Structure formats: structure tokens, C-alpha cells
Amino acid sequence: MTLNATIDRVTDRIRSRSQASRDAYLKKIDKAAEDGPRRAHLSCGNQAHAFAAMTNKDDLATTRKPNIGIVSAYNDMLSAHQPYERYPDVIRRIGDRIGATVQVAGGVPAMCDGVTQGRAGMELSLFSRDVIALAAGVALSHDCFDAALYLGVCDKIVPGLVIAAATFGHVPAVFLPAGPMPSGLPNDEKSRVRQQFAAGEVGRDALMAAEMASYHSPGTCTFYGTANSNQMLMEFMGLHLPGSSFVNPNTELRDALTAAAVTRAAALTRLGNAYLPAGHILDEKAFVNGIVGLMATGGSTNLVMHIPAMARAAGIHIDIEDFHDISEAVPLMARVYPNGLADVNHFHAAGGLGYMIRHLLKAGLLHQDVKTINGTGLDGYTAEPKLRGGELDWEEGSDTSLNEKILRPVSAPFARTGGLKQLQGNLGRGVIKISAVADDRHIIEAKARVFSDQEQVKAAFRAGEFTEDTVVVVRFQGPRANGMPELHSLTPTLAVLQDRGLKVALLTDGRMSGASGKVPAAIHVSPEASAGGPLARLRDGDMIRLDATMGTVDCLAEDFETRTPAPFDGSYSAEGMGREMFAAFRAVAGPATAGAGVVV
């Protein structure tokens, strides 16, 4: 199939925009790879320190077996990462079997946004991505590893690990998923109870029961938020094995896929004949494929920031106009909560990522000619893994959706576009996700209520102050102000107002969760208010027009351009819960439109 003209044009635009930095990046990683396996150049003392604790240390000192480093985000507070506790032992056993050695190179932090929503700790969340990249860099700095296995799932963890994998781009990289927890309380029922609690219709006991029934076992949360969008991304970009993203933890198939991933990592080193450094996988086509997957699945808006940051580490420059244009060309093929009633287990059972990749390739909406850890182009990702007599094999997945309420072909999608829009106007530049927003709410013209903190919004709601159509403005939430926390805890409040018949929208220089959906939210607005951006000039009662159809966001007040911006008071978020340690990050963070990066 001929490549879609828009996909071709956007790829060429990214390639042209990135030519100088990408050429310099490839030159850097190719030079790093020239000397062969790096540990061969360590002194005897260096090697003795590196291998002292290993039972098979002689293998490392005297043989050419590949040495595989594990970078793990394991902790047992995150349900998604708890399964990783047993991975090092499993991987070592596999290494022994295939003639490789394995070491845990280092651990990286992994915080749970579900725990920190609406709390001070959420202001560290976005910057944890850069901390993860730095920590992974420290782990790999020992220069002992012929390949790296990256163990991570959730919101900032995968992007941080990809930034590190790209920075150490001469080292082959394989990403190992852990899989989603089995289905629990349906996500729409959980959301309904949250809204009832916000409206005072049920007590905390009912809310707690619903939450515990939703989040109930090891594995990733089952809604299609940032964590599961990350898993999709790794498969579309060729860093997972085909069909491995949404296999449940602690199953025979999950363990077999882990074994296969370790075997692939060993095969990709310079010691064999299939050397494939991570930096050669992470090219312009791979990132475009990832954006196509994001649009086709209706994935998390957080990746609109993470993908540019990941790409920048590989010398590639991606702009939000690239997301917008790809979204206009790619249809929405999936309905997974919050864009539908299904969870990721239902999505996987209906045909999942393999089905989507097959149909997107047929439609010319993906680059097939890419490098992947599977040793094939992207067409190898139309297959699904099966266990036959205890042996892992891949067979062609279904060409037909097994549930068209969840998964549809390109020819009969849920929506013509991916539902992500770039917004521009006199209020700045940002994005809006409309794949779950009702058509009659794509255009909202209403008076502004301006807040500097999400708790102020909740207090106004409890006081009964929202009685008419309103654009709720929450400013001073950008990366330089307070680390750009997610404002997901506002979703039940705004949803209650919407269900009462009001037209409401959120306008912010902050973020919303990947699980947010049905309330229109103009987010990531840049320049941010704390830097004197346009949101700082808004006042209560200003008429705002948010038009997701035309991609515009404007204040209609005649004197808007001449106003003096409101001053930013950062004292309320400067200290406590570790925030004082991140002052240096806030001072240098880039704009949200470029990924809000610190280390890239």
C-alpha cells in the first residue's frame, strides 16, 4: 500500500527539521560503538569491581558471552510494577540457558500518579521523568553491558527510560512489559461512583469500595490512560516483542514472552551478527508510527509532551503541529475507557494492537520499513503470540475485529480523525483531545472563572458558585510554576456540572490525566502564565471562545492584549513533599509544547 500523503509529508517535515541534530546524534552513537563491546576496555581492576558479586564472574572476565544489564523501575507500591520483583531471577535463569550473563545495572524511581492526584507529590510527577532518565544513565555509565533490558510501564517511567535508551543509543535496548491486571469493576461504574461522591450523593465508604474493586491486583490499571498508552507506543515503535503489551502478569504466556525478549536482547549485541543499537530503531519513522498509534487508539494527551522529549534525546524534533496533522489523517479505531466502556483486556481480546497495525499498514498509515527488536519491519507486529505445547510461537492475528463495539477497521472507524487538535489563538498554543467529547461540546463560548489552584475550583463548586456555562481557567500550573501537575481530580467536579446541563470547559497551562475524556479540556497552554503568558491576563467574566473544530482558543475582551499580567506567587508550591529539591528543575524546564524537558 502506498504511504498516506500526510504521513509522508509529516515524516519528511520532521526529518528536514531534525537533519543537523539527527546527523550529529548518529555520528555520536556510531563512534561509541566502534570499539566493540565496551567492557572489553575496562581495566582488570575495573572488571573485578564490576563482577565481584557474580557467581559466574569467570565467564565475564574470560569469555565473550553477552552481558545484559537490567534497568528496573520495580517497587511493590505500584501495581503495574510489582510483577517486576521476580524478573531479575527469571532473566538470570534465561541468561544461563542461552549463554549470556545478566546483572541488575540499577533501579530508577517510579511514582504512582493515582496515589498523588490532587496532592503536593503530583508536582514532582512530570519531573520524575527526567530523574528516571538520569538514574538510568547512572546505571549504564559503568560501561559493562552489551545490551540493556528496561523494566517499566507507567506514566513517566517509560518516557524516562526511552530518553536514557536513546542517550545510550549505541547499546541495544529491549523493553519488557509487565501486563495489565485482570478486569475488575467496570471503569464507567467507577467513574459514576466518583461523580456521585463529588455531588454528595454517596459516602466515602461507597467510594472506597468502588476504588478497591477497580484497582485490585498486580498489573497495570485497566483503563486506557498514559501507562497503557506507553505500552502501545513501545509496540508501535518496535521496542516490545509483537503482541506482548497487554498479556496479564504471572501467566505462562507472560513468562514465555519475557524469556523471548531476553533471547532477543542477547542476539542484538555486537557479539553476534544482528547488532541493532537502540538509536537506529528510534528514528523519525518510528516516532511517526508511535503518533499514529496514539491517534488510532485515542491515547493519552500526556504523550503529546513525552514523545517530543523522547525524540529530542535521539536528535529528532517533533512539534505539536505534527500531532495535529497526523490526527487529521488517522481515524479513531478503538473505544477503550475513557473513550468507551471497554478496558484494555477487552481491547486485547477483540484483536488488540496486532489488528490495528495490520489495518493501518494496509491503509498506508504506518511506515512498514522500520527497524524493530523483532528483526522484522512493522509487518511482523501483525502476529500474536501463542503457547503451543509449552513452546512460544507467533501466528497471524485475526483480520476481523472480534468486537466492533471496541475495535473497528480503518474503513469503518468510530471517528474520521484521531481526535487530537492543536489550539492556537490570543491565549497561546495548546492541545485538546475530543475523541470522548460529545459533538455539541466541541465549541464553547462562555465566561471565565479564573483560579490559581485546583482546590479553589473544588471550593467554588462546594459553595454552589457554578450556575451558568463556564470556562474554568486554572493557571500557574505550568512546568516552571509548579512542575505541571495533572489536574485529574477536577474531572468528577466538572463532569457533575456537565451532567447538570451546563456547558463547561477547562483551560489550563497544566495537564490532565490520560484517563480524562468527556469534559473539554484545553491543556498544555504555552507560554505558561508564570512566564507572563496570556492566561495571566485573564479576569473573571472574560468571554472565552474555545473552538475545537477550527482549533482556536481566544479571549474576546477588547482590552485583553493591553492588560498587565497577574503576578505569579510560587511560594505555595515551593516547599514540602520534596518540592524544594526540584527548584532547579522548575527554573530550567522547557515549554510544554516542546516536551517540558529538563535533561533534553
Q: CA 490, CA 502: separation in Å to the nearest integer? A: 16
For residue 385, count other CB atoms closer than 10 A to its CB: 20
Q: Are 471 and 548 in contact (CB under 8 A)?
A: no
Q: CA 434, CA 6: separation in Å to the nearest integer? A: 21
Residues sharing a CB contact under 8 Å with residue 219, sequence separation 6 or more, in sequence order: 79, 80, 83, 178, 179, 180, 181, 182, 248, 249
Q: Are 578 and 124 in contact (CB under 8 A)?
A: yes
Residue type present at position 340: G
Find how far residue 213's CA is from the centre of its chain: 25
Cell triple for 359: 489495518
For residue 104, count other CB atoms closer than 10 A to its CB: 17
Kind of pairing between the strands at 543-547 and 173-176: unpaired
* Range list of H helices, 268-302: 278-281, 284-297
For residue 483, count other CB atoms closer than 10 A to its CB: 23
For residue 390, count other CB atoms closer than 10 A to its CB: 7
44 is in an annotated binding site: no
Asked if the peptide bond before residue 485 counts as cis, ω within 30 degrees of 0, the response is no
Nearest to 430 by CA among 376, 508, 491: 508
112 is in an annotated binding site: no
Report the DSSP beta bridge partners of residue 357.
none
Residue type present at position 240: H
For residue 56, count other CB atoms closer than 10 A to its CB: 15
Q: CA 416, CA 54: separation in Å to the nearest integer? A: 56
Residue type present at position 89: D
CA distances from 541 to 19, 338, 427, 447, 555 (A): 47, 31, 15, 5, 10
Q: Are 70 and 141 in contact (CB under 8 A)?
A: no
Cell triple for 517: 475524556
For residue 594, count other CB atoms closer than 10 A to its CB: 18
Per residue, the 3-state secondary structure of 320-373, as one string, reads HHHHHHHHHHCCECECECCCCCECHHHHHHHCHHHHHHHHHHHCCCCCCCCCCC
Name the phi and psi angles at 433, rounded to 5: -105, 120
For residue 357, count other CB atoms closer than 10 A to its CB: 28
Q: Are 506 and 486 in contact (CB under 8 A)?
A: no
Q: CA 600, CA 596: separation in Å to the nearest integer? A: 9
Q: CA 453, CA 473: separation in Å to the nearest integer? A: 10
For residue 26, count other CB atoms closer than 10 A to its CB: 17
- Reduced to 3 states (helix: H, G, I; strand: E, B; else coil), residue 220 is strand
Annotated binding site for [4Fe-4S] cluster: 154, 221
Return binding residues. 154, 221
